[in-house]
Amino acid sequence: MNLRADVVKCYHVTTIRNRGSAMKELSELIERLSEEWPTDWDSLPDIELYRDQVLGYMKRQHSLQPESAQLTGAMINNYIKSGLLPRANGKKYTKDHLVYLTAICSLKHVLSMGDADALMKLQPNIGDARKFYEEYLAMMEKAFLDTAAQLEKESSREQLAASALYLAISSYAQKLACEKVLELLKEEEGPAKEKQKQNKKPGK
């Protein structure tokens, strides 16, 4: 009887400890979502970086991403080949490269490479790396803060499960909407480009 009581007591103690550890990790996640964003434009390095340095820098830019999702040298090659990223300046990458790679590293989790390329090129300030980056950061900060607001530090297991489900459904709905809006923008872009070609013809 005493042995059984000791086992039950041990189980409850372990459960409480695990619960406390989980709540600590949840609190840390909320804090990180509220603070750990890519650095602002003025804090980006002004000196050009080699590829290994770029890879290390991108890990800090997206510190919440798991190791398996981090940028690789092969990915950079693919982005350059597809036209998603400008070619390096010799073997070095500029501040502008860091801007576009920061955006690509988040978009690649949601969109195909082709759709990410199309979406970035549709942005009105894509030619001005600083303006584009500042707009991107403002959107990211809002999205991260909105996500952090969905989580409560003192949530029960049931509440956390419901929050996780809501976040998953919300991501699904937003992805569907993003893809549809992007499709509509592509359809509008076709006639617009054709009109530009017509206007450039001799005699026009």
pLDDT in tens, 104-148: 999 999 999 999 999 999 999 999 999 999 999 999 999 999 999
Average pLDDT of the residues in 72-93: 93
Give which of 165, 171, 115, 120 is closest to 143, Cα–Cα: 171
Question: Taking the complete model, does pTM exceed 0.85, yes or no?
Answer: no
Average confidence score pLDDT of the chain: 85
Does the pLDDT of residue 93 top 60, yes or no? yes
Predicted pLDDT of residue 74: 95
DSSP3 helix / strand / coil % (the chain, rounded to 5): 75, 0, 25
